[in-house]
Amino acid sequence: MEASREGAPGVRLAARIKGLAGSEIRERMKDLAKREIIHLGGGLPDPAFFPVEPIARACAAIFADPTAARTALQYAPSEGHPPLREWLAGYMASLGVPCTPANILITNGSQQGLDLIAKLLIDPGAPVMIELPSFIGALRAFDVMEPRYVGLSADLTATGIRERPRFAYLGPDFRNPTGTSLTLAERHALLDLSDALAMPLVEDGCYEKLRYDGEDLPSLLALDCARKGGIEQSRLLYTGTFSKTLAPSLRVGWIAAASPLIARLVLLKQAADLATSALNQMIALALADGILDSAVAQVRGVYRGRRDAMLAALADHMPAGVQWTEPEGGLYIWLTLPEGMDGGELARRALIEHGVATISGAAFYPIEARPNTLRLSFSMVPEEAAREAVRRLGLLVEDMMGVPAHG
């Protein structure tokens, strides 16, 4: 593609387009067609564990009932299919967030939630606080509204903050890309920071259900509801999705927040694409009401085993000086190479020379990039392939470090 500012002869593009970049991950996903590659790149759920039969049965049941079929194919309300909003209000309550359907907006996956929240809260040039590194999809959604990023300080305080950020974006559980989680004390510190600055938090809850070890921790929104007496008193916006627990192409997610925020987000949803597919919402509801718990239990078991295999392989094959996270859930392990090494170079050589797809860590930093990092996703590869991929990566790292290979 030609890199000029002009999209076609004589077409002037909006200023916001200048900063747009593609997602390295999405680009790498195109490699999926190439079978010989071992994919530690995209954070995709493994399609081998999609609940195909229950979804097929849900579809058949919808189309067998003429009233349901017409509802499924007609425009849904912009705020969402009412029974699914109702179900999600109960689900959020079960996670410690007492709420009503007026606190829920259905979105096309949690990615659309981030697009709508960016429109709601970001003026061009306004500061937005992010963890470093941060989920690329969130950054891409925010970028379109042209924020100025500021990094969340490691001590979670407001030290050095001169202007109140419009919000801070956080992934409390097994977050993309590092796999790390916030402790309970850190969650409380963030709520203190939010209160001190009167700053909303945007909580990405998409991995909340994918815990493999340890105990569930309450979401930031649940803790804030307990502090404030209810969701209507909270400044937090929570995004959730069925993409990681049921299947991504249902494209059904949600935002939970105080009802005046949801009311504005509904207008933005209407402007964005009128409504999420009623058919997809009805399928999601049928599964949520039925097999969600067993589907979650199944993928937890699979991904726990894959995580363990990859952690064991890293211990076996990575030379001294390389560090990695040990996530309690989610889909990702984050590698930190010795200072001075280039994760981008490692990712390129791993793909081209060794048939292993990964994502260089620098892509996850819009500011203050640490190029000696790499993200590995363990969701898509069976344990044997993961061990082989990590063995190849270990040899390549040794080669790049100038360490003699140990066989």
Stretch 170-229 residues interacting with its own copies (CB under 8 A): 198, 200
Other C-beta atoms closer than 10 Å to the C-beta of 14 total: 9
Does residue number 60 form part of the binding site for its own copies (CB under 8 A)?
Answer: yes
Does residue number 137 form part of the binding site for its own copies (CB under 8 A)?
Answer: yes
Judge contact between 396 and 38, C-beta under 8 A: no
Single out the residue of 151, 91, 11, 144 nearest to residue 289, CA to CA. 91
Per-residue CA distances from 168 to 151, 161, 204, 367, 388 (Å): 9, 12, 11, 15, 39
Q: How far is the CB of 345 from its own copies (least distance, A)?
A: 25
- In this structure, the dihedral spanned by the alpha carbons of residues 138, 139, 143 and 148, taken in order and rounded to 10 degrees, is 120
Closest to its own copies by CB, 23 or 399: 23
Q: How far is the CB of 367 from its own copies (least distance, A)?
A: 18
Considering only the stretches 181-189, 214-222, 278-286, 392-400, report the one whose residues sit in contact with its own copies under the rule CB under 8 A.
278-286
Q: Determine the Cα–Cα distance for residues 232 and 86; give it in Å rounded to an integer.
A: 17
Instruction: Figure out which of the listed residues 38, 40, 55, 206 binds its own copies, where binding follows CB under 8 A.
Output: 55
What is the footprint of its own copies within residues 350-389 (CB under 8 A)? none
Ramachandran sector of residue 160 (left: φ over 0; alpha: ψ -120 to 50; beta: rest): left
β-pairing, 253-256 with 359-360? unpaired
Single out the residue of 394, 236, 245 nearest to residue 321, CA to CA. 394
Closest to its own copies by CB, 292 or 318: 292
Q: How far is the CB of 360 from its own copies (least distance, A)?
A: 18
Q: How far is the CB of 196 from its own copies (least distance, A)?
A: 11
Q: How far is the CB of 384 from its own copies (least distance, A)?
A: 21
What is the footprint of its own copies within residues 76-105 (CB under 8 A)? 76-78
Does residue number 37 form part of the binding site for its own copies (CB under 8 A)?
Answer: no
How many CA atoms within 13 Å lie on the side-chain side of 239?
A: 27
Beta strand segments in 159-314, E: 168-170, 201-204, 237-241, 253-256
Considering only the stretches 88-96, 218-226, 262-270, 324-332, report the one whose residues sit in contact with its own copies under the rule CB under 8 A.
262-270
Does residue number 109 form part of the binding site for its own copies (CB under 8 A)?
Answer: yes
Q: How far is the CB of 33 from its own copies (least distance, A)?
A: 10
Name residue, tokens 């954070």.
43
Considering only the stretches 112-120, 207-215, 343-351, 371-379, report the one whose residues sit in contact with its own copies under the rule CB under 8 A.
112-120
Helix runs in 98-171, H state only:
109-121, 136-143
Does residue number 272 form part of the binding site for its own copies (CB under 8 A)?
Answer: yes
Q: How far is the CB of 253 from its own copies (least distance, A)?
A: 9
Instruction: Figure out which of the listed residues 24, 38, 40, 72 binds its own copies, where binding follows CB under 8 A.
Output: 72
Does residue number 145 form part of the binding site for its own copies (CB under 8 A)?
Answer: yes
Instruction: Figure out which of the listed residues 28, 84, 106, 108 binds its own copies, where binding follows CB under 8 A.
Output: 108
What is the footprint of its own copies within residues 227-256 (CB under 8 A)? 232-235, 243, 247-251
The amino acid sitting at 164 is R
Instruction: Figure out which of the listed residues 44, 158, 161, 403 binds its own copies, where binding follows CB under 8 A.
Output: 44
Q: How far is the CB of 122 from its own copies (least distance, A)?
A: 6
Q: Determine the Cα–Cα distance for residues 345 and 314; give it in Å rounded to an integer.
A: 19
Q: Determine the Cα–Cα distance for residues 6 and 17; give it in Å rounded to an integer.
A: 10
